[in-house]
Structure 1
Amino acid sequence: MDSMPINWEALDALIIDFAKSENLVEDSFSSSSPPSSPSPSSSSISSSSYHSRLIIRQIRRSLEAGDIDAAIDLLRSHAPFILDDHRLLFRLQKQRFIELLRRGSVEARDSAIKCLRTALAPCALDAYPEAYEEFKHVLLAFIYDKDDQASPVASEWSERRRLDIAGLVSTVLRAHLNAYDPVFSMTLIYLISIHKGFCLRQGISSPISDLTQRLLLEERDPPATPQDSLSEAPPFDEVDIQALAHAVELTRQGAVDSLRFAKGDLFQAFQNEICRMRVDVTKLDELVREYCVYRGIVDAGIASSSLSGIESPSKSLKVDQSVAGYSLSRDSSHELDFGASKTSDGEVSISNDHGRGSPEKNSDVASMQGIEVEVRYASDSTSNHEDCSTSGSHQPENLRVPQRSRTNVSAERSKRKRWRGRQDDLEFIPGVSCNQISKGISTHSLTFASKEKQASECLVVDANNVEDKYEIVLGMKELASKGMAAEVVEEVNAMDPNFFGQNPLLLFQLKQVEFLKLVSSGDCSSALRVACSHLGPLAASDPALLKSLKETLLALLQPDEDALRKGFPLHALATSLQVAIGRRLGIDEPQLMKIMRATLHTHNEWFKLQMCKDHFESLLRIDSLKEVNMPSLAAAATSKSNADSCSNGSSQVTISSSTRMVEDGSSLSQVSSRDVVCDENAILKVMEFLALPRADAIHLLGQYNGNAETVIQQIFA
C-alpha cells in the first residue's frame, strides 16, 4: 500500500478547493488586516453552497441541543419549503412537544399542551398513515417520567431522537439546497469506506485503521424518503441500482428509494448517500492543515501549533475555555482549540508540487498539461529509501542554509495562504466574541512576523527549529521542481554530505535531469561528462537502473527537443526529494498522504475483484489522483492496470478469467476452464436474484457458460 503512486498535484487541487470551499484559509500571510475580518476574497469564497452549509450546521446544532423552536425559525427563514412536508413537520412538532415536557416546569407543561392542540394534532391528521397512532402514543409522555427506562415511551424520551431528526433534516436540506460537502471530503469518505470494507472482507489488517476509525464514524444520518414512497417504483436502470447499492452499501430497495428521492439522478443519489456518512470534521481539518503546511500551501507559523508531534515556537492562542471545549460531529461538529495538539503518529510532511507560485495558480494544478506524480522505480524495494529514516542517524545541531533559500524565505511565505479555521461557526456559539479571537490571531501574526524577520537575517539554521526545517525542505523542492538539479545536488551536499550516499536513486534521478537539461541546451559534451561521472557508476552499482540509463541516453538522438519537459516528471522528483530530506531532518510525511496511498490501493484492488470500473471515480476525481505520468525515461516500475472494465449498457460484456475460485458447498475450489463472455444483464440478474457481489456472480456464470437461468436453477435445485 505504501508503494501506491499518486498524483499529488491532483490531490493539492482537491485540498485547495476544499479549504477555499470551507473558507478555511486566507490568501496572504502578510496581510495587515485581522485574519477573521471579511475581505473581498473571503466574501467571494462564501458562495451560496458555503452559506447553505453554515445554515444547515446551525439548524443541526439547534436540533441536537433540543431547541426545536430555533430550528423551526431558521427553517422558516432559509428553507420554508421543508415545512411544507407534513411528514417532516410532524416529526419536528412531536420532538418539540417532548422537549417542552423535558423542561419539567409548569409553564413548559402548559406550552406542551398548547403545542399538542395547535401544531402536533393538525399535523398528525395528514402527515402519513401511521402518524395519528404515533400521536396517540406520544401522549403517554404525560404519564411516564423521562427517567423511566421501562416505560412504553422510553424511546420518545431518548435524546437519540434529537440526533435522528437532526440528521434527517440535514439530509433533506443538503439535497434541496444542493449544499453538498466539497469534493475532497466526499472522495475521502468514499475511499475510506471502500478501504474498511475491503480489509474486512479480505481479512487484511489495515495500516491506517487508527486514523480511519477516528475519521469516519460508524453511524449515518437517516435516509430521506421520497414523498411518493407508496407509489410504484420508477423503472430505474438495474445497472444504476446495483452500482449505487454496492458503492454505498445499501440494500436494493434502499438504492431504489435513494434514486426515487433524487428523481433518477444516479450521481445526485450517490452524493446524498455519501454525505449521510458522518465524519469527524475536527480530525479532517487537522489532517488537511497538516498536509497544507507540508505542501507549502499554508504558512506554518500559525498552523504549526497543532501539527502532529510538533510544538509551535510561537505561543498558542488562548480562547475562552467554553469555546475550546466545544465539539460536535459531522457537518455540525467542530472543535475549537487554538492550543497545541498532538496525534498518535506524530508525523508531518512537506511537498508543494506547484513550485512556489501563487495560491490561485496552485488551485488549477489539476488542469495543467503533463500531470506529473511521484515516480517509484522497480528498484525501490532494494534501494536505500528506508535509510532516509532519522532513527539512529546523525543530525547536526546546525545546518548551513543555501543563500538562495535563505533570502527567499520571506518572499515565499508571503505567497502562502494563512490558515483561518472554521471561525464562521463561532457566531453560532453563545457568548463567544469573534472580535476577541480575531484580535488574538492578529497579535499572534505580528509576533510571528517579527520572529520571521529575525530568522531571515541568520546564516545558520537551528536543526531543532521546525519552521527552519520546513524552509530548508521547501527550498530544495522548489529548486528541483524548476529543474535546477545541479544546484540541488550542490546544496544538499553542503547541508549533509552523507545524504546521497544513503539515497543513490535520488542522485541518479537528479543527474538524469541535469543530463537532459544539458542536452536540451545543446551542450552534449557536458551532458556526456555527467553521464560518465555519475549516471554510469550509479547504474553499475544498481543494475535495475541500467534500463533507465539507456533510455536517458536516447535523448542524444534528438538534442533539439525539450527532452526534460517531455520526458521527466520534475514535480514528482521534487516530491520524492522533499520526503527524503524531510525524513532526514526528522519531519515525516503527513498522515493524509498515508491515508491516500492505502485507500487508493484498496480501491484498485476492490474493483479488480468486482471486474468492473468504478461508476463514480470521475465525479470524485479519483481517476485524476491515479493519473500517473510514467515517462519512458523513468519507467522502471509500472503499475499493472485492470484489464477488465465495464460500462453502462446492455451490450456490455465481461470476460471471466480462465482460472477462478468458485464456491462448492462450504469450501473453495480452483477451477480452470476456457474464458467465458458474460453479458452484463446476466451478471445483474444473478446479482439480484442471489444477492451476490459482482465478482461472485461473474465467477458462477463462468462455470455455466454465462447462462444466468442455469446458474439460478442450479443454486435453487
Structure 2
Amino acid sequence: MESTPVNWEALDALVIEFAKLENLIEDATATASAAATTATTSASSPSSSPSPSPSSSSYQSRLVILQIRRYLESGVVDAAVDLLRLHAPSILNDHRILFRLHKQKFIELLRKGTMEDRDSAIECLRAALAPCALDAYPEAYEEFKHVLLAFIYDKDDKSSPVANEWSERRRLDLAGFMSSMLRAHLNAYDPVFSLALRYLISIHRAYCLRQGITSPISDLTERLLLEERDHPAIPQDILYEVPPFDEVDIQALAHAVELTRQGAIDSLRFAKGDLFLAFQNELCRIKLDTPYLDQLVREYCVYRGIIESVSEKQPIPEPVKFSQQDPVCFSSRDCSLELDCNVGKHSDGETSVTNVRVDGSPENNADVSSMQGMDVEVRYASELTNSHEDCSTSGSQLLENPSILQRRRMPGNGERSKRKRWRGRYDYNNYVANASLEDSKQENSISTAVSTVTKEKQGCEKLSINDASNTEDKYEILLGMKDLASNGMAAEAVEEVNAIDPNFFSQNCVLLFQLKQVEFLKLVSSGDYNAALKVACSHLGPLAASDPTLLKPLKETLLALLRPSEDALGSALPLNALAASLQVAVGRRLGVEEPQLMKIMRATLHTHNEWFKLQMCKDRFEGLLRINSLKEVHAPFLTSMCTSKSHTDSCTNGSSQATVSSGTRPSEDGSSPTQDSSRDAICDEGAILKVMEFLALPRADAIHLLAQYNGNAETVIQQLFA
C-alpha cells in the first residue's frame, strides 16, 4: 500500500473544491477586499455587519438541511416544519411525510407532560394527524390508532406497546429520513471529495474483511466513517411490480453501497432509474465524522501549502452569544461539533475541528491539545524509519544552523501570497444546539464546557508557542523543496537537501536518481548535451552501478538523447509525484510526519484496485467520483525502477509515490483493472447476473462458480440446489 501511486495534484484539486464548497477557506486577496468593503460600509452605516458569502447555493441548502435535522433530533417539530414551508414547501404536499411529522409532534407534546401540552396534543390529533392519516399511505390509519395508546402508557414504560413511539431513536430516524428526502429535493449533495472518501473507505473495509487482513489505517477509518446511515428516501409511488430496470444497474448499485436487491430497486425507483443519482443518494446516507474530516483536510492543506502555515495570525471573530430562541440538540456527536465551533470564536481565529468532549479522559484531552494549539499534528520520530538511518540526527538539530534557516526562506516564498486562509465552519454557529435552554442547568453546562475547553486551549498554546517558529521553519523548508522539484529545478532541490542533511541521499538513493534524471532531461531539452552527459557520468552511472535495478531506467533515460526535439522532461517524469515523494521523505527526516489523509488515500486506492481485480470488472462509478483521476500517474521511466516492495523500503523509506508495485499496477488509462479475458470468454454477462441474483453472491464468486461449470448458469443453480 505504501508504494501505491497517487496523483497528488488531482487530490489537491478535490480538497480545494471541498473546502470551497463547504466554505472552510478564504483567499487572502478576497479577505483584503472584504475588509475594504467592510470599512466602507461601516463608515456609511456603522450598524451593518456583513457576513461571509457562501460558496454556492448548494452550501446554503446543506445548512438548511442541517438545521432541520437539528430541530427534529431535538424534538422541535414546529420549527422544522416552518423551515420546510420556507425553503421546500412542495415537500409538505406529500402526505406520507406530513403524517410522520405530525405524529412526531404529537409525541413531543405529550412528552412535555403539562396539561397545556396535553391539550395541544389533542388539538394536533383533531386538526392535523387524523385528517392526514386517512390518505397518507395504506398503513397510516392503523399507525394513527396505535399511537393513541401514548395517552395511556407512560414514556418510561419500556414494556408498553408504544415504547418505540416514545423512543428518542424515532427522532433520529425521522431526522435522517428528512435529510435524505431534502438532499434530493434541493439537489444539495455533498462535495465529490466527501462522497469519494465514503466510497473508498467502504470498499477498503470490505476488501480487508474478505481477505482476512488487518487494515493499516483502521484507527483512522473507524473514526472517520460512522456505522449508522440515514434512513433511505421513499419513492413517490408505491409499486409492487418489478420496474423495468436493467439488472446490471441493480446489481452494480447493490454491491457498490451494500444494499439488498430490493433496496437497490427502491433507490433506483426514487431516482427515476438514474443509476448515478441513486448512487449519490445512497452515498450521502453514509455518515462521516465532519469535525474529524475537517481536521484531516486542514492538516493536508497546511502540509501541501494550500493554506497559511500554522503560526500565522488571523482576525479574531466575535464571541458566540447563546440565544434563548435557538434550539439546542445535545445529541452526542453533533453537540461536540457545535462546541468546537464556539471555542474557535474565542481563539485567534482558528476554528477547532476535533470532537471536543470535556470528560477529562486522556484520549480526549490529547485530541484537544494536539489540534487546538497547533493546527497540524507534527510528530517527532521516536524510532527509525529505516535500518540505514542515522539515529544521531534529529529534526531539531538539523535546523540549528543559521545558514540553513536563512536558506529555507528562499524557495517558495513567492507562493505564500497565493495561499488561502482557513475559515472553519463559522456558519454552523447559527445552528447551535438546544431545545430547552430555559433549563438553567443545561445552559450552565454549556458555559462550563466552553470555559473548560478554552482554558485547555490557552494552556496548549503556551506549551507550543516556543516550538511555533521551528515548526514553521520545517514547513517552509518542505514547501520550498516541493516547489523546486515540481518546477523541474532538480539541481537546486538537491543542493537544498544536502545543506540540511548531507547524509540524506546516501539513504535515499532512488530519490537522488530521480532528481538527477530530471536534471539530465532538462539539460537535454535545452540542448546542453555536454552538461547532460556530465550529470549522467557523475551521478546516474555510479548510482546504477551500485544498484542493478536502476540500470533499466538509466538506459531509458539515455534514449532522450535520440529525441532532442521533444519535450523529454515533460513526457518522461511526473514532477508532481516526485516532488511529493521528496517532501514526504525529507519531512520524515525533519520529524514531520506526512498528513493522515495521504495515508488514507494511498491505502484506499490500493484496495480499490485489488477489490475490482477480485470482482473481475471495472468500477462504473470511479469516473463520477473522480477516483480515476487520482490514479492517473504516468511515469514510463520511474515505474520500471522500483517494482519490488523490498527495494522501495530500502531505498526510499517507502515514501516514493512514483513507483508501482507489480501486484498493484492500474490499467493504462489509470482506471480500475479490467476483468481477465480468459474468464470473460467463458462467462456470459447474463449468466453472471443470473447466478448473482438467484444465489445472492458477489460477482467474483459467481464468476468462479461459472468457470467450474463451463459458464452454464442453469447447471450452477441446479448443482447448488440439488
Q: Is the 8 A contact 2:329 2:432 kept in 1?
A: no
State the partner residue of 2:624: 619
Given that 2:134 and 2:140 are in contact with CA atoms closer than 8 Å, whether structure 1 keeps it comes out as yes
* Pairing partner for 2:183 from 160, 168, 174: 174
Tell me by how many angstroms 1:427 deviates. 1.7
1:418 aligns with 2:421: yes
Aligned pairs (5 A) from 1:284-433? 284-301=293-310, 329=333, 335-336=340-341, 337-338=343-344, 386=386, 393-395=393-395, 396=397, 397-399=399-401, 400-401=403-404, 405-407=408-410, 411-429=414-432
Q: Aligned AA for 2:15?
A: I
Alignment partners' CA distance in 2, 1:713 and 1:633? 51
Is 1:691 matched up with 2:696?
yes
Matches for 1:398-477 after TM superposition, within 5 Å: 398-399=400-401, 400-401=403-404, 405-407=408-410, 411-429=414-432, 465-477=470-482
Aligned to 2:572: 567
Q: RMSD between aligned alpha carbons?
A: 3.5
Contact 1:222 / 1:276 at 8 angstroms: preserved in 2?
yes
Query: Does structure 2 retain, via aligned residues, the 8 Å contact 1:15–1:184?
Result: yes
State the secondary structure of the residue aligned to 1:219. Answer: strand
Specify whether residues 143 and 2 from structure 1 end up closer, same or farther in structure 2 by C-alpha distance, changes over 3 A only: same
- Tell me which amino acid in the other structure corresponds to 2:500: M
Query: Given residue 227 of structure 2, which amino acid in structure 1 is its aligned partner?
Result: E
Matched, 1:215 2:224: yes
Are 1:219 and 1:277, in contact at CA under 8 Å, matched by a contact in 2? Answer: yes
TM norm structure 2:
0.80
SS at match of 1:184: helix
SS where residue 180 of structure 1 aligns?
coil
User: 1:302–1:162: structure 2 CA closer, same or farther, 3 Å change rule?
Assistant: farther
1:30 Cα offset (Å): 8.9
3-state DSSP of counterpart to 1:278: strand
- Quote the offset at 1:314 in angstroms: 9.7
Counterpart for residue 202 of structure 1: 211
Query: Could you tell me whether the CA contact under 8 Å between 2:6 and 2:632 is conserved in 1?
Result: yes
Q: For residue 501 of structure 1, give the secondary structure of its aligned residue in structure 2.
A: coil
Deviation digits for residues 162-204 of structure 1 (CA, Å, limit 9, x no counterpart): 0000000000010111111000000000111111111112211
CA contact 2:73–2:329 (8 Å) conserved in 1 = no
Distance 2:318 2:329 in 1: 12
Secondary structure of 2:682's match?
Answer: strand
Summarize the alignment of residues 89-238 of structure 1 with structure 2, pairs less than 5 Å apart: 89-238=98-247
CA contact (8 A) 1:76 1:83 kept: yes
CA spacing shift, 1:325–1:630, aligned 2, 3 Å: farther
Could you tell me which runs of 5 or more consecutive residues in structure 1 were left unpaired when the two chains were aligned: 304-312, 351-383, 433-454, 456-460, 658-674
Distance in 2 separating the partners of 1:605 and 1:113: 59
Alignment of 1:534-553 (within 5 A): 534-553=539-558
Q: What amino acid maps onto 1:61 in structure 2?
A: R
Output aligned runs, 1:466-505, within 5 Å.
466-505=471-510
Aligned mates of 1:682, 1:6 — CA distance in 2: 36
Number of the residue aligned with 1:24: 24
Change in Cα spacing, 1:173 to 1:543, as seen in structure 2 (3 Å) is same
Taking the aligned partners of 1:388 and 1:77, their CA distance within structure 2 comes to 66
Which secondary structure state, in structure 1, belongs to the residue aligned with residue 227 of structure 2? strand
Aligned to 1:70: 79
Contact in 2 for aligned 1:68/1:92 (Cα 8 Å): yes
In 2, distance between residues paired with 1:178 and 1:328?
28
> Structure 1 residue 103: deviation in Å?
1.2
Q: Aligned partner of 1:127: which letter?
A: A
Is 2:515 the partner of 1:510?
yes
Q: Which residue of 1 aligns with 2:560?
A: 555
Structure 2 counterpart SS, 1:217: strand
Residue 249 of structure 1 deviates from its aligned partner by: 0.7
User: 3-state DSSP class of the match of 1:506?
Assistant: helix
User: Is residue 5 from structure 1 mapped to residue 5 from structure 2 by the alignment?
Assistant: yes
Q: Distance in 2 between matches of 1:420 and 1:699?
A: 52
Q: Which of 623, 630, 638 is equivalent to 2:635?
A: 630
Out of 580, 603, 610, the residue aligned to residue 615 of structure 2 is: 610
SS at match of 2:244: coil
Distance 2:36 2:188 in 1: 23
Describe the superposition over 1:203-222 as per-residue Cα deviations: whole angstroms up to 9, x where unpaired.
11011111111111111111
Please say if residues 411 and 484 of structure 2, whose CA atoms lie closer than 8 Å, have aligned partners that are also in contact: no
The structural deviation recorded for 1:604 is 1.0
Number of residue pairs matched by the alignment: 626
Distance 1:541 1:642, change over 3 A: closer
**Aligned equivalent of 1:361:** none
Out of 242, 247, 251, which is 2:256 matched to? 247
